[in-house]
Amino acid sequence: MKNITKEGNLTLEIARDLSPLSRRKFLKLGAIAGGAGLSAALGAFHFFSGSNVPMPIMPSSIKNLKPEEYRLFLKIIEVLFPPSPPLANASSLPVIENIDSVIGSLPENIRTDFGLGMKLFDKGSVIVGHHLKPFTDLSNKAAAQYIRAWHQGYLIQRSIVVAIKKIAYLSYWRNAETWVALDYEGPITKKYGIPSLGNAPLPMEKS
């Protein structure tokens, strides 16, 4: 049996977060935003949701994110991690590369659900808040308000936004450059050269 890695643990968390997004549950909900029916919502997405933000050219280091997902996460990073000294500037860190790595580690079924979740989150701003444009086109202030609105929305909305933010935050804080502002020196096992035992069981107590 393979040891569960840190990304493996994250995969399990993302799977739990996205469980309400399974096809059967999703279609049973019938509404995803503002009381609008699913078919009406998707129709509005199709009509209004074209982005005016140019599709960025993805660097060769990005292997797993699709262009629209890459653009979405660039916006997420910009909104969640504005320049705020003494915190490390997200733009100088490989946050998007870390996100790409996490996405690439997801099993196919979870990756498919997460892809759907990202699309709904981006296009959902057409209806949620009546912005009539996708999340990637919002100002940073409006985008932050939109994220908060999803935290207070339907279960499916909360599930999607939690999964997106979890991946973004972990992809930022996994960089050692971010630890300085917290006076964190990294894992104590690495500092003192203690070998990792993986998921070894706890020692049995002597009777």
Beta carbons of 103 and 197 less than 8 angstroms apart: no
Q: Is residue 102 part of a domain?
A: yes
> Taking Cα atoms as reference points, which of 166, 185, 194, 182 lies closest to residue 6?
166
Q: How much is the pTM? A: 0.74
pLDDT tens by residue, 41-90:
555 555 455 678 888 899 999 999 999 999 999 999 999 999 988 889 99
Q: Is residue 34 part of a domain?
A: yes
**Cα three-residue angle 44-148-167, rounded to 5 degrees:** 95
pLDDT tens by residue, 97-130:
999 999 998 888 889 889 988 988 998 887 776 7
CA 8 to chain centre: 15
Q: Is residue 197 part of a domain?
A: no
| Res 110: pLDDT | 86
Helices (H), 2-139: 6-17, 23-29, 38-48, 67-80, 95-105, 108-124
Domain range spanning residue 66? 6-191
Domain count, the chain: 1
Q: Is residue 196 part of a domain?
A: no
Give, rounded to a whole angstrom, the gap between the first and last alpha carbons of the chain. Answer: 30
> Is the model's pLDDT at 1 over the cut of 50?
no
What's the rounded Cα separation, in Å, for the pair 114 and 118?
6
Q: Is residue 198 part of a domain?
A: no
Q: Is residue 203 part of a domain?
A: no
Q: What does each C-alpha distance from 122 to 62, 86, 116 come to in angstroms?
A: 20, 30, 10
Burial classification of residue 73, based on how many CB atoms lie within 10 Å of its CB (0-12 exposed, 13-18 middle, 19 or more buried):
buried
